[in-house]
Structure 1
Amino acid sequence: MDLVWITVACFVFYKCVECSGTAKEWTYAGTVGQPEWAVFFPDCGGSSQSPINVDTSQARYDPTLIPVLPLGYNHYGKRQFTLYNNGHTVQMTLPHWMSVAGLPWHYSAVQLHLHWGSEVGVTTGSEHTINGQSTAAELHIVHYNTEIYANMSEAMTQENGLAVLAILIEAGEEINQGYGRILNYLGHIRYAGQKVTIPAFDIELLLPDNLSQYFLYNGSLTTPPCHQSVLWTIFNERVKISHSQLLKLQTVLYSSKQEEAEPMALQDNYRSTQQLNHRTVLSSFIPVSVKIYTTGEIAAIVIGSLCGCIGLAVIICFIVKTIRLTSSWDVLPSIRPAPQPRSQDMAKERKDDMALKVTSNPTKPEEAAPQPET
């Protein structure tokens, strides 16, 4: 009997090892969802994983960091771009002449893709957060180190292999024409595996205006196989797309193929933040710490302020009443009759009066002698 159980256990262990080495299909939720990534893709359990929450109070200011400089982003040429639904995101291939300067190495562009949530009114969808606050979506522009490695496949598994620019996206009122160059074609790639060619455009339109303020840290790919080979640049300034553009991003695409009977919406394709684990986050600027209050904290502040105002009003009323009462007693002595002396005092005064009368009536002095006339 023991031999049977040992055989079964060995078989299960063998199958688990086999699966962990060969599993290719993963999801953000489900049987091979985020909690199970490390089982099938060991690097996903590493100590330098991405994304992270950037705590600006802990970021270290580095005055040597210079503004990020996109090279060739606006030289898009005549060849069309390819937009692709890979079942996990919408991805667009970039031409090899596009690159980025201002980082420790020279990195050439490979592709860009997006991450987003599922509800327009809820600001969740970005992978990175700043001071615990997420945004509606996030754009990643992926580059590889051409100074050291021959291609993307080699670089993605090695130290200093990749550099990714991360742009946090918020929803607003105005339509973003740059992002419209991508979002307007999502209807052509609704299902996983579909591709479409779109007119080339200036990739700089997707970037924030301020490229000098950013956070820098070493991390990983945010999807399996989660190789820890990425130098991350997170821009401090957000970009905005319209609510209608965000709704299109959240509702048009499916993570399943067209032939599947029950298509699954491609939503909430963002990884939860990972532990920093003693890594250092550098900042190209001195962040201004701004306290972000929760709804409960705001309610507590409002109630506390109201109670404080009521208490102050009560104190003021008490002081005013006290002043009025004191002032009234100051006036009363002028209208009250003088207090009567006590009996002993009156007797004493009478004796004093008698003594005064005796002293004031002595015998009459002699009359002065008349003076002789001259």
Structure 2
Amino acid sequence: MSESFSNFLINSCGKILCLMGQSEWPQYFPDCGGTSQSPVDVATTQTKYDPSLIPLTPLGYSQHGNRPFTLYNNGHTAMIELPEWMGLGGLPWLFSAVQMHLHWGNAEVHLKTLHVVHYNSELYPNMSAAMTQRDGLAVLGILIVTGEETNPAFNNILNYLSRIRHADQKVLIPAFDVQSLLPKDLGRYYRYNGSLTTPPCYQSVIWTLFHERVQISKAQVGLRHLQCTEVYPACFN
């Protein structure tokens, strides 16, 4: 994984973000004032069926090999670096996996999401080159709801969060089946062209938001707390 991407928001944008509100982002990052910004509020009753869209095909997600994954606290969230031989089919180009990370919101009642990030390895040599291009990135969005039943797949991540409580801490964790984190129905989803959700807000993302949600338990949500940098004081709250 490109370390320049994993630290991009912290190193390039963080201190400025601390001093301004979201409405001021476009003054410093012009793309944040663009017309294809994410996230979007998907009005499901107004969506239209597109027969040209086919089910996505995770490539190598279940064949993780024996090398451990790196779990990293980047000061904003917990991120897992993924090997580039994992990829994504069903799009106009081949996309190679880079990382996945969790967004928890600021309360248990809020929706949580898992994002799996890929770059267009058919057209660009690496993540850094792809992230500024309109067809450069593909992100899977998985909505997570809280229920009573434990989701064992997410324990592969959550059980290790206590070992990266501080920003910039890393830990090696056993490799696991990444596809087990995804919903079972990969054929029903919402597709739109959007952006990175925080500055620099590059409008370079093909977003796929799955209709089916996955569930984790309240006890699993309680494992989420990390200590953050001054850049992102609200992470995992």
Give the residue type in structure 2 aligned to 1:217: Y
Give the structure-2-normalised TM-score: 0.90
Out of 123, 139, 148, the residue aligned to residue 114 of structure 2 is 139
Q: Distance in 2 between matches of 1:45 and 1:106?
A: 29
- Which aligned pairs between 1:73-112 and structure 2 lie closer than 5 A? 73-112=61-100
Aligned to 1:267: 236
Aligned to 2:227: 254
- Which aligned pairs between 1:271-350 and structure 2 lie closer than 5 A? none
Aligned to 1:40: 28
Report the Cα offset of residue 159 of structure 1. 1.5
CA RMSD between the two structures: 1.8
- Which aligned pairs between 1:61-76 and structure 2 lie closer than 5 A? 61-76=49-64
Aligned to 1:158: 133
Q: Which has the larger radius of gyration?
A: 1
Q: Distance in 2 between matches of 1:111 and 1:27?
A: 25
SS in 2 for 1:60: coil
Report the Cα offset of residue 36 of structure 1. 2.7
Out of 203, 207, 226, the residue aligned to residue 178 of structure 2 is 203
Aligned to 1:25: 14
Change (3 A) 1:23 1:194: closer
SS in 2 for 1:248: coil
CA contact (8 A) 1:25 1:32 kept: no
Please list the CA deviations of residues 172-206 of structure 1 after superposition, one character each: whole Å capped at 9, or x if unmatched.
Answer: 11111111100110001101111111000000011
**Unpaired runs of at least 5, structure 1:** 1-21, 125-134, 258-262, 269-374
Change (3 A) 1:162 1:67: same
Q: Distance in 1 between matches of 2:158 and 2:26?
A: 32
Q: Distance in 2 between matches of 1:33 and 1:104?
A: 36
CA contact (8 A) 2:13 2:200 kept: no
Aligned to 2:37: 49
Q: Percent identity?
A: 57
Report the Cα offset of residue 147 of structure 1. 1.2
Please list the CA deviations of residues 8-54 of structure 1 after superposition, one character each: whole Å capped at 9, or x if unmatched.
Answer: xxxxxxxxxxxxxx9632587x4234233222222111111000011
**Unpaired runs of at least 5, structure 2:** 1-10
Structure with greater helix share of residues: 1
SS in 2 for 1:187: helix
Where relative contact order (Cα < 8 A, 6+ residues apart) is larger, the structure is 2
CA contact (8 A) 1:91 1:111 kept: yes
Instruction: Say if 2:165 is the partner of 1:190.
Output: yes
Runs of 4+ in 1 over 4 A off after TM superposition: none
Give the structure-1-normalised TM-score: 0.58
Structure with greater strand share of residues: 2
Give the residue type in structure 2 aligned to 1:267: F
Change (3 A) 1:163 1:173: same
